[in-house]
Amino acid sequence: MKAIKIIFSIIISIGLLSYFACSSPSKIDEPDPEIDTPIEVDTVTIEPCEAEMPIYYENNKELFECMGMLRPCDSYNYPIYPGVYPVDTTISQVSKAIASAMTTQALIQAYWEYPYIYVIVMTDQYAWFFDTYMNVLHNNAYHELLTREDACEALFHRLLLVNQTYLAGNARVAPKAFEVLISQPEFLDRYSLAEKKTIIETTLKNDSIRTPLTRVARQTAFFLIGRVLISANYQPFIEEMDNHLLLGSSFYDKWHAHRDTYNDIIANHAKQFLNE
């Protein structure tokens, strides 16, 4: 296990150097887009509280501002800053006892502020990195979230609230990582057909907002949409992906090799799916 953690640390360090070298974060102040949805969705209501803010709050305010909602009162305060990656990943682990007592929104917040969140989306290997940090290393907060009956509703609400115009630091990364979170089959398979269509509509709209601002930000949107189409068992899309040898693990892990071409394919099928 120590050898595996050392290898992860080396991979992370190399990836982060490349990521930050290519980054030019900036904040675009624009109003939140209005999202048309056929589903009645209540606003996430969280009362202001006097809970202690984490040590990284002052230097990462945009991480919280871009959520479009207040930070849950029982959110977990990590002892390290986002972007700090110790070889010992247990430092960023929420204990099972604490996770079991947290509200569902606080569990999602634990993922939103997860110190390794950069790692999950810093390359196009979203599925591999997500699986590594959430399942192989067994993230307690994530596994507790999987057991919550209201997890899908809470994730759905969050998707509608996120402000897509924040592009600085963690505020650029968290919305992308969130799309990887909600793309997990354990969640998608629990949504109704109408809800899946709303997820696609919202994600297409989010992509149209982010694309003119930064091209890098759009890849997770199509990753999510593709997984929704697969979860909905949308055969025209599945057949075409099968023809391109992009179904199954290949779609999840290797579609980025020709992502611009496949993004167009995904978008076209998504629009057809919404019209049916």
Question: Given this model, what pLDDT does residue 215 score?
Answer: 54
pTM of the predicted model over 0.75 = yes
Question: Given this model, what pLDDT does residue 25 score?
Answer: 33
Query: What tokens were used for 208?
Result: 């149209």
CA–CA gap between residue 183 and residue 200 (Å, rounded) = 11
- The pLDDT tens digits for 29-86 are 333 333 344 334 445 666 667 678 888 888 888 888 889 999 999 999 998 877 676 6
Question: Given this model, what pLDDT does residue 260 score?
Answer: 65
CA–CA gap between residue 212 and residue 207 (Å, rounded) = 9
Question: Given this model, what pLDDT does residue 200 score?
Answer: 97
Question: Given this model, what pLDDT does residue 218 score?
Answer: 72
Which candidate, 115, 88, 112, places its Cα nearest to that of 102? 112
Contact 223, 185 (CB under 8 A): no
Give me the residues paired with residue 56 across strands.
none
Show the low-confidence residues of the chain (pLDDT under 50): 2, 4-42, 249-250, 253
Compute the half-sphere exposure of residue 175: CA atoms within 13 Å on the CB side of its CA: 30
Question: Given this model, what pLDDT does residue 108 score?
Answer: 97
Query: What tokens were used for 216?
Result: 């890098």
Contact 83, 115 (CB under 8 A): yes
Contact 148, 187 (CB under 8 A): no
Give the per-residue SS3 of the chain.
CHHHHHHHHHHHHHHHHHHHHCCCCCECCCCCCCCCCCCCCCCCCCCCCCCCCCCCCHHHHHHHHCCCCCCCCCCCCCCCCCCCCCCCHHHHCCCHHHHHHCCHHHHHHHHHCCCCHHHHHCCCCHHHHHHHHHHHCCCHHHHHHHHCCCHHHHHHHHHHHCCCCECCCHHHHHHHHHHHHHCCHHHHCCCCHHHHHHHHHHHHHHHHHHCCCCHHHHHHHHHHHHHHHHHCCCHHHHHHHHHCCCCCHHHHHHHHHHHHHHHHHHHHHHHHHHHC
CA–CA gap between residue 40 and residue 157 (Å, rounded) = 11
Question: Given this model, what pLDDT does residue 31 score?
Answer: 35
Query: What φ, ψ does residue 166 adopt, rounded to 5°?
Result: -90, 125
Question: Given this model, what pLDDT does residue 18 score?
Answer: 40
Nearby residues of 199 by Cβ (< 8 Å), 6 or more positions away: 156, 159, 182, 188, 191, 224, 228
Q: Domain locations in the chain?
A: 51-182, 192-276
Question: Given this model, what pLDDT does residue 51 score?
Answer: 75
Question: Given this model, what pLDDT does residue 32 score?
Answer: 39
CA–CA gap between residue 133 and residue 127 (Å, rounded) = 10
* Start-to-end C-alpha separation, the chain: 49
Question: Given this model, what pLDDT does residue 241 score?
Answer: 80
